[in-house]
């Protein structure tokens, strides 16, 4: 089993399937809502750049530097975002979950925690990782809070880490989950997802 493999992962809320150019139109629809792609502190492809971004990720997958998925909402069958394994380091049994974006309509739903549960499960159980990193922009407070809710701990801040396309300089906040923490993180995610299930006898 390789860190670059991209199997289809599925639970009751979300499907992660290998990224494909066939997902282009659904991903464009997702980023158009509230002009999500204009968010200044992160890189989300614009509708016009979506095909190039899919091709870029697929090329990097071919080079063995990342593993890309399309995020699909199982309730609607629609593509709602992208996520990847990157900074693959099999020798040190580490990787990063990143380059993730979720369309506005899927934010605040079960989609993100359900996807993270499957990605973390694969990393720790199937790939034998001892640590998984998650990184985000200092100014992306929504992402920082979401990562902390997963149970990840902040390792530090890489100051002046990246020059963004708009000319601003990004401070990158680095979080991680280590293998000894995974059982508790898993329990927390399962409990969160249980809250998204309809109560018996109530309208769905």
Residue 3 — φ and ψ, nearest 5°?
A: -65, -25
Count Cβ atoms below 10 Å from residue 66 Cβ, excluding itself.
Answer: 25
In this predicted structure, the answer to whether residue 168 has a pLDDT above a threshold of 60 is yes
Query: What whole-number distance in Å separates Cα of residue 42 and Cα of residue 118?
Result: 24
In this predicted structure, the answer to whether residue 199 has a pLDDT above a threshold of 70 is no
pTM (whole model) above 0.75 = yes
Token pair of 128 as six digits: 């034998």
**pLDDT tens-digit readout, 133-142:** 999 999 999 8
Token pair of 136 as six digits: 């985000």
Query: What whole-number distance in Å separates Cα of residue 4 and Cα of residue 76?
Result: 28
| pLDDT above 90 coverage of the chain, percent | 85
In this predicted structure, the answer to whether residue 201 has a pLDDT above a threshold of 80 is no
In this predicted structure, the answer to whether residue 198 has a pLDDT above a threshold of 90 is no
In this predicted structure, the answer to whether residue 65 has a pLDDT above a threshold of 70 is yes
- What residue spans define the domains of the chain? 9-194
Strands in the chain per DSSP E: 9-10, 14-18, 66-73, 78-89, 94-102, 131-137, 153-163, 169-178
How much is the pLDDT for 202? Answer: 53
How much is the pLDDT for 197? Answer: 78
Query: What whole-number distance in Å separates Cα of residue 175 and Cα of residue 152?
Result: 6
At how many degrees (to 10) do helices 24-32 and 50-63 cross? 130
Inter-CA distances, 45 with 97, 156, 169, 171, Å? 18, 27, 19, 20
**pLDDT tens-digit readout, 15-55:** 999 999 999 999 999 999 988 888 877 888 999 999 999 99
Query: What whole-number distance in Å separates Cα of residue 93 and Cα of residue 79?
Result: 30
Inter-CA distances, 61 with 49, 93, 136, Å? 18, 18, 21
Mean pLDDT of the chain: 93
How much is the pLDDT for 53? Answer: 96
We find that the CATH architecture of domain 9-194 is 3-Layer(aba) Sandwich (3.40)
Closest Cα partner for 193 from 115, 139, 121, 131? 115
**pLDDT tens-digit readout, 69-110:** 999 999 999 999 999 999 999 999 999 999 999 999 999 899
Place of tokens 């280590």: 178
How much is the pLDDT for 200? Answer: 55
Report how far Cα 152 is from the mean position of its chain's Cα atoms.
Answer: 14
In this predicted structure, the answer to whether residue 68 has a pLDDT above a threshold of 70 is yes
How much is the pLDDT for 51? Answer: 97
Better-scored residue on pLDDT, 3 or 165 = 3
Closest Cα partner for 18 from 90, 67, 78, 86? 67
Sign of CA dihedral 64, 29, 49, 166: negative
């Amino acid at each position: 089993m390789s860190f670059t493999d991209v199997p289809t992962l599925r639970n009751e809320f979300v499907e992660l399937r290998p990224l494909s150019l066939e997902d282009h139109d659904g991903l464009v629809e997702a980023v158009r809502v509230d002009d999500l792609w204009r968010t200044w502190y992160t890189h989300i492809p614009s509708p016009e750049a979506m095909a190039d971004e899919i091709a870029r990720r697929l090329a990097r997958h071919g080079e063995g530097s990342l593993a890309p998925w399309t995020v699909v909402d199982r309730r609607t069958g629609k593509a709602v975002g992208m996520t990847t394994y990157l900074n693959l380091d099999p020798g040190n049994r580490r990787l990063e979950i990143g380059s993730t974006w979720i369309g506005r309509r899927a934010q605040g739903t079960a989609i993100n925690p359900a996807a993270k549960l499957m990605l973390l499960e694969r990393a720790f159980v199937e790939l034998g990782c001892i640590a998984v990193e998650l990184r985000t922009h200092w100014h992306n407070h929504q992402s920082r809070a979401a990562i902390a809710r997963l149970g990840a701990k902040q390792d530090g801040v890489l100051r002046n880490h990246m020059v963004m396309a708009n000319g601003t300089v990004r401070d990158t906040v680095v979080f991680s989950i280590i293998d000894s923490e995974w059982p508790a993180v898993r329990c927390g995610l399962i409990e969160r997802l249980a809250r998204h299930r309809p109560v018996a006898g109530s309208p769905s």
